[in-house]
Structure 1
Amino acid sequence: MSLACCLPILECVYCLACARWVWKRCIYAAGHESQDWGLATADEFQPIPRLCRGVLAVYEDDLRNPIWAPPDGYRMNPDWVVLRKDYEDTEGRVTPYLVYLDHDNADVVLIVRGLTMGRESDRAILFDNKLGKAPFDGGYVHNGLYKAAQWVFDAEHELLKGLLEDYPTYKLTFAGHSLGAGVVALLTLVAVQNRDMLGYIERKRIRCYAMAPPRCMSLNLAVRYADVVNSVVLQDDFLPRTTADLEDVFKSLICLPCLLCVMCLKDTCMMEEKMITDPRRLYAPGRVYHIVERKPFRFQRFPPVVRTAVPVDRRFEHIILSCNAISDHGIIWIERESQIALDVSSSIS
């Protein structure tokens, strides 16, 4: 048989293989990842909507007249804000953050806001993520986020130590969104490793809630610190699933669907065993809370459910081909859906 006769057959095989791949990717939905996980209880999920509103407060210029105004019972008390730092104060080392004494919940809270795309310093933090560049405690972490976390700890550990000594029954909570979520996740690791600098605080009094975090720590660290670090992911959010170089992701925003397709192909073709056994590969940190509110081939939203686990496999390994992959990253949507999920869970229990 001549080569000219073989080419149409090869083209047909290739087209069928591509069609099969597209079909498998299109029917792969976010709910598949967490379908075997247990449901989160209302008690364990209770802090998350409140801390989402805390993240929104970091964006406010005037906490007494907030633009993102939550109901009166949920507003942050401006008189309890101990410290606020903006870009001038941080010198571009990290995004703006605040320290808050939450007397209603017996909590010392440090909250870091997310990325500002127009800020070169923010992009530099997120893009500094060469694989295996930053070893930490027997694993690997995201280099740029780790340096930002270390800067925050060096700047604020004396303040946090003083507050914890003044309020010995209070917990120490770190919270953040997007880039800030990665910073607080690694800040928690630094704090646990240096508890002597925080007045020898017990490990069980430290906790972290990372909303829509980037992949920032190796699997062994994600599992080992799951008792103190929690990730919150809304449905199809792309960032906790993004294994590509983040610089390439943000340079390709004009044609993000094309990039997502390429990343899907890459992740689909990579052997699962290779992904899990690579000690340098980074993952979403800690225990994962996955808010699921849509079903495959359904456009309307359903009452959200929250599934949780400390997964070793299927830890958000694949990009979801979804028109909501970007919008699900927004802190406003995370706050809204997490509050609905908490209300639903509380009414059932």
Structure 2
Amino acid sequence: MLRESNVLKFVKNSSVMRPGYYIGIDPRKKLVIFGIRGTHTVYDLITDIVTSSDGEVTFEGYSTHFGTAEAARWFLHHEIGTIRQCLEKYEGFRLRLVGHSLGAATASLLAIMLRKRSKKELGFSPDVVSAVGYATPPCVSKELAETCSDFVTTIVMQDDIVPRLSAASLARLRNEILETDWMSVVEKADWKSIVDLVTNAKLVVSSVQDVARKLADYAHFKSANGSSDVAIKTEPTSVPKKVTALQKEEGAYTVPEELFVPGTVYYLKRNIDDHTGSNDNRGQEYFSLWRRHPGEHFQKIILSSNLISDHRCDSHYFALRDVLKGLPLSHEEDLFR
């Protein structure tokens, strides 16, 4: 954790396509840190909505989400001078881009953009650039996820819904629910499974609806006040068939194009030690860290009671802190290279 005296720049307020961020230094590890905040304000919410749309753009031949790519381009054009000055002042330091959720996707794409520039263009070697993202949403093609694995690291916690949340995974979840033999489930009297499935499916749906409702309320508020600092285009109430996430074809629903979390992926797995008692007699909870192959993504949304809480930044912090305590320093450096 950086000391306040080591924070060189802090921008709290967000605007469209630009999350809040800070720039600081870590003298102990000789790093210039560029931290990008996750979803926090309604402006970030708009970026998230754009990111989740079906309309995707290509970045140098790769499929990427529009919102986070545009945010990364903003940082590339407006903060490259600050980054260059920091690396010149702190000779021998490396640049580490970090972020959570929306900020993680932006940090990863910014690292990819910087790595594709030459030393002459940047004013410093692109080899000093790396990124670490926590709870990064799927935002790149499989090819790009694999090619950036040497300098982008993604941390995913247990049942976190965000790294699994895409049009394709939602389509699979819908198909799974439609294809379930509910009579068989009822006959087995597995009522707990039914209740858990319905409860957690409702949680997913209500979360999506809540986001849509907040955006609609915000759009109505801006319209009522006649403000034009954020332009929100009013769409017709009916959704054109060509932009629906799920397209029906011969009685089945086709799955949209896959997107992946970027880089080398580390999975924080929750474990229960039954031999160690706890206050609720459920055993002691602990986490282990598993490395996955680049391009191996999380296809299925896990309908568990932790799908939202596992996305929280502090949940990642405490779980990862406990894991790293048991690792030699050399392994920690290898993880966050």
Q: Is the aligned partner of 1:84 residue 2:10?
A: yes
Mapped contact 2:116–2:126 kept (Cα < 8 A): no
Q: How does 1:216-255 map to 2 (within 5 A)?
A: 216-244=139-167
Deviation per residue, 1:131-189 (Å, 9 max, x gap):
45210122111100111111112111011011112223111000000111111111111
Count of aligned positions: 250
Q: Is the aligned partner of 1:293 residue 2:275?
A: no
Mapped contact 2:100–2:133 kept (Cα < 8 A): yes
Give the alignment's Cα RMSD to 1 decimal. Answer: 3.1
- Counterpart for residue 339 of structure 1: 321
Residue 337 to residue 160, structure 1, CA distance change in 2 (3 Å): same
CA distance in 2, matches of 1:299, 1:178: 30
1:169 alignment partner AA: G
Q: Is the aligned partner of 1:317 residue 2:239?
A: no
CA distance in 1, matches of 2:200, 2:23: 35
How far apart are 1:190 and its partner, in Å?
1.4
How far apart are 1:244 and its partner, in Å?
2.9
- Counterpart for residue 122 of structure 1: 44
CA distance in 2, matches of 1:86, 1:245: 33
Considering fraction of residues, name the structure with more helix. 1
Q: TM-score scaled by structure 2?
A: 0.67
Deviation per residue, 1:48-107 (Å, 9 max, x gap):
xxxxxxxxxxxxxxxxxxxxxxxxxxx4222211111121xx534322110001111100
Q: Is the aligned partner of 1:308 residue 2:291?
A: yes
Identity %: 25
CA distance in 2, matches of 1:244, 1:188: 25
**Secondary structure in structure 1 of the residue aligned to 2:23:** strand
Q: Which runs of 5+ in 1 are unaligned?
A: 1-74, 249-254, 267-273
- Counterpart for residue 74 of structure 2: 151
Deviation per residue, 1:193-246 (Å, 9 max, x gap):
22444314142x211000001111111100000111110011110000012389
Q: Which runs of 5+ in 2 are unaligned?
A: 172-198, 207-245, 247-253, 275-280, 332-337
Deviation per residue, 1:278-328 (Å, 9 max, x gap):
8x5211111101011236x99655331111132434x11101121111101
Q: Which runs of 4+ in 1 moved over 4 A?
A: 245-248, 259-262, 297-301
CA distance in 2, matches of 1:246, 1:178: 17
Q: TM-score scaled by structure 1?
A: 0.65
284, 296, 309: which is aligned to 2:261? 284
Mapped contact 1:293–1:301 kept (Cα < 8 A): no
- Counterpart for residue 55 of structure 1: none
CA distance in 1, matches of 2:168, 2:300: 15
CA distance in 2, matches of 1:224, 1:132: 23
Q: How does 1:1-349 map to 2 (within 5 A)?
A: 75-87=1-13, 90-116=14-40, 119-129=41-51, 130-131=53-54, 133-195=56-118, 196-203=120-127, 205-244=128-167, 257-258=201-202, 260=204, 280-294=257-271, 300=283, 302-313=285-296, 315-346=297-328
Residue 327 to residue 213, structure 1, CA distance change in 2 (3 Å): same
Residue 261 to residue 91, structure 1, CA distance change in 2 (3 Å): closer
**Secondary structure in structure 1 of the residue aligned to 2:271:** coil
CA distance in 2, matches of 1:186, 1:317: 21
Residue 180 to residue 162, structure 1, CA distance change in 2 (3 Å): same
Residue 201 to residue 300, structure 1, CA distance change in 2 (3 Å): farther
